[in-house]
Amino acid sequence: MPLKPSTSTSGPGTQPPHVVHLETGRFVYGGARQVLYLTEHLPALGVRSTLVCAKGGEMAGRARAAGTEVIELATLGDADVSIVWRFAALLRRLKPDLVHIHSRRGADVWGALGARLVGAPAVMTRRNDTREAQLALWLKYPLYRHIVAIAQGVKDVLVSQGVSGSDITVVHSAIDPAHFQHPRSRAELAATFDVDPAQPILGIAAQLIERKGHALLFESLQMLASRYPTAQLIVFGRGPLSASLPALAALHGLQHRVKFAGFRADLELWMGALDVLVHPAYTEGLGNVCLQAAAAGVPCIGSRVGGIPEAIADGVTGVLVPVGDATALAAAIDRLLSDAPLRQRLGAAGPAYVESDFTPPTMAAGNRAVYRRVLGR
């Protein structure tokens, strides 16, 4: 399924290209954080950015604090088709060279239609590895000149559904590794989250939604109860399962060993004090939390799905297991908890792995290369 080809005839100019970014998410979760990294680092590469984001959300203040030009757009949610005309009106005023759509679940269509109305070329970042309905593929992707996939696993899904591989460029998402390299002490972790510093401490940091695999992890820990009766788990995150997961942990006999920490804006302070991070997701675009663990020098166990095999170098920075396999997950946890030298070796390799391809400047450069390709500059 080829995308709409570029008709730009612009050559090298004296003014930096102006890119308008659309991100309508209200909270600064993984994808929105990538947009902040991108708009912060593009100016150093000669690209001017304007961020259009949801009015009243977290994005506006964070972006302005970083020096990004921001316009807030009122939105009623994913089904708000009026975004098409209101976004088009903004674009007529801003006259950008390119539009970069980061949102999904509605705005990825409404924003692209708004760009089409004013004749502005558009690219989209695809952040998840789930398959889309064929009708959505036919209607949405021809609106774009190019697609940025945050992992090869994401690109593979699109290609399998008929989108031309030549219309997709993989640009890995990024983290700021420096944020994770000065963790709090083990004693401070224990005091803050009511765990025993002398016993194994695992962590999972993800939205509390079904596809992140919390239930699978509880099942695996129950399998290991006789071997590691004092192993503890800290659950970082918030989400729709906040009320039900504690009861599920108790059903597996883990009520005294699983601590629910909620959402922590200071997660980078605690990641490095864990023994192992576990990310047993059923679907995942890349798995930035696995990169965060690597930057903090902590080995990670993750599912072999989506982009996680790119975020975890199997046998180098962590261990990959088959998706949805509680027995294999338990075996991987057992392997790492029983082998301190292995944990140390995997953790020590993490920072260099992150620096190799997963930093904000590298991610910004990859996106700029896509802009140059689309604009012919």
Mean pLDDT over 198-206 rounds to: 97
Number of domains observed in the structure of the chain = 2
Domain shared by 184 and 295, yes or no: yes
CA–CA gap between residue 40 and residue 351 (Å, rounded): 22
pLDDT for the residue numbered 133: 87
Q: Are residues 213 and 239 in the same domain?
A: yes
Identify the burial level of 225 via C-beta atoms within 10 angstroms of its C-beta, where 0-12 means exposed, 13-18 middle and 19 or more buried.
Answer: middle
Q: What is the CATH number of the domain that holds 314?
A: 3.40.50.2000
Q: Could you report the per-residue pLDDT of 41-98, keeping only the tens digit for each?
A: 999 999 999 999 989 888 899 999 999 999 999 988 778 899 999 999 999 999 999 9
Average pLDDT over residues 229-253: 97
The tens digit of pLDDT for each residue in 137-161 reads 888 999 999 999 999 999 999 999 9
Nearest to 189 by CA among 259, 270, 263: 270
Cα–Cα distance between 357 and 353 in angstroms, integer? 7
**pLDDT tens-digit map of 108-122:** 999 999 999 999 999
pLDDT of residue 8: 45
Residue 205 lies in a domain: yes
**Residue 9 above 60 pLDDT?**
no
Residue 1 has pLDDT above 70, yes or no: no
Mind listing the pLDDT tens digit for each residue in 349-371? 999 999 999 999 999 999 999 99
Q: Quote the pTM value.
A: 0.89
64 lies in which domain range? 18-174+359-375
Same domain assignment for residues 26 and 139: yes
* Residues comprising the chain, all counted: 377
Q: Tell me, yes or no, whether 298 and 330 share the same domain.
A: yes
- Residues of the chain with pLDDT > 90: what percent? 83
Evaluate whether 320 touches 292 at the Cβ level (below 8 Å). Answer: no
